[in-house]
Amino acid sequence: MNISTIVYRGPSKDGAPVCLIASIGGNKKTNQVLELTLVPSFIVEHWETLSKDAKPSHQGAVYVKALRGYIKTVCPSTCVYVRNGKGCYVQHNPRNASQVARIIRNATWCGRGLYLNELRSVAKCAKLAGIPKVRSMVAGDAAMLPADVWAQLESALLPLYPADQWLGYTHDHSAKHLQTTHVASCDTTEQAIAAKTDGWSVFEVLDPVGGVIPKGAALCPASKEFRLFREMAIGCAGCPMPCNGASAKRHRVIPRHAPGDASRKAAAARRGEVLRDAKGRVKGLYA
């Protein structure tokens, strides 16, 4: 199914021009989902020129290069990968960014403004096709949209996709209007505890190797480390701990999987290292 529509074209919460694209797609971990993707308007409006000499398989690199200088229009400065300028598994990884390039390449245009009927149309197509979840965001962060715009988007989607059918993450923990559908994405245990105290469900990213699962936290069932240890594969679609604000305020963790981390994990596996919890029990295996 190839549906991709720009449903919002206007200012971000900081006034920068952005486009929100609603599409149907997915990857190996999420399976088919209703996708929301926030992209700088410059990239969407100039995509044909930016990508004209690149094959579709190489357009992820085009997106990553074009995003330089624009990332702060779609991702909050509270994100460690924005501050560092590297490491994000989508915004800095051409291979994963090919999914974003596909969404932009296939997007149909509306004018400027918010188009809730078009959003509902994409959502209804997804629902009729049996697609079980909304992913927010494939790239970008919902916190970068004006709160009143997000409220309208959410109200249009929730009748079709209740909060427990979302996969939503934000690095802006001050955006409490997202707590219904999103979890707080955290980079330290201290940050995760603070966010949970502030009413968020949290998803903490551990060091790629050598990390310890904090007390009271659970390893993401869709992680590779969980699959290798438990010898079962659980994707986001069938996860018993979905990443949204609808469930009990959970603390989930996953080892970082940014560019270069796979080789670190492979080296750790060769050394016999394993992922343990705070009590020293084995909870996951590296590979």
Least confident of 152-156, 205-209, 227-231, 236-240: 236-240
**Residue 248 above 90 pLDDT?**
no
What φ, ψ does residue 225 adopt, rounded to 5°? -65, -40
Phi, psi of 48 (to 5 degrees): -60, -40
Regarding whether 228 and 162 lie in a shared domain, the answer is no
Same domain, yes or no, for 147 and 207? no
On whether the CB atoms of residues 66 and 50 are closer than 8 A, the answer is yes
Mean pLDDT for all residues in the chain: 93
pLDDT at 228: 94
Q: Using CA atoms of 49, 140, 258, 97 in order, give the dihedral in degrees to the nearest 10.
A: -30
Map residue 229 onto helix, strand or coil.
Answer: helix
Q: What is the pLDDT of residues 33-84, one digit of tens each?
A: 999 999 999 999 999 999 998 999 999 999 999 999 899 999 999 998 899 8
CA distance 54 to 196: 44
Say how many domains are in the chain. Answer: 2
Q: Do 148 and 242 have their domain in common?
A: no
Q: Is 154 within the bounds of a domain?
A: yes
Q: pTM (2 decimals)?
A: 0.93
Do 250 and 156 fall within a single domain? Answer: no
Q: How far apart are CA 227 and CA 221, in angstroms?
A: 7
- The pLDDT of residue 285 is 95
Are residues 162 and 197 part of one domain?
A: no
State residue 99's pLDDT score. 94
**Which CA distances in Å does 239 have to 157, 158, 165, 252, 263?**
21, 20, 11, 12, 27
Whether 20 and 97 map to the same domain: the answer is: yes
176 located within any domain: no
Write down the pLDDT at residue 1: 59
Does residue 259 carry a pLDDT above 80? no
| Parent domain of 210 | 182-287
- Lowest mean pLDDT segment, chosen from 68-77, 164-173, 251-260: 251-260
Q: Is residue 177 in some structural domain?
A: no
CA–CA dist 52, 281 (Å, integer)? 52
**Two tokens, residue 121:** 């149309």
Considering the domain boundaries, does residue 175 fall inside one?
Answer: no
Residue 140 inside a domain? The answer is: yes
From first CA to last CA, the distance across the chain in angstroms is 34
**Do 140 and 95 sit in the same domain of this protein?**
yes
Q: Which tens digit of pLDDT belongs to each residue from 180-206?
A: 999 999 999 999 999 999 999 999 999
Instruction: Decide if pLDDT at 85 tops 90.
Output: no
Q: Is residue 143 located within the same domain as residue 110?
A: yes
* CA separation, residue 106 to residues 8, 25, 95, 159 (Å): 16, 11, 18, 26
**Contact between 173 and 195 (Cβ < 8 Å):** yes
Same domain, 153 and 188: no
Residue 113: per-residue pLDDT: 96
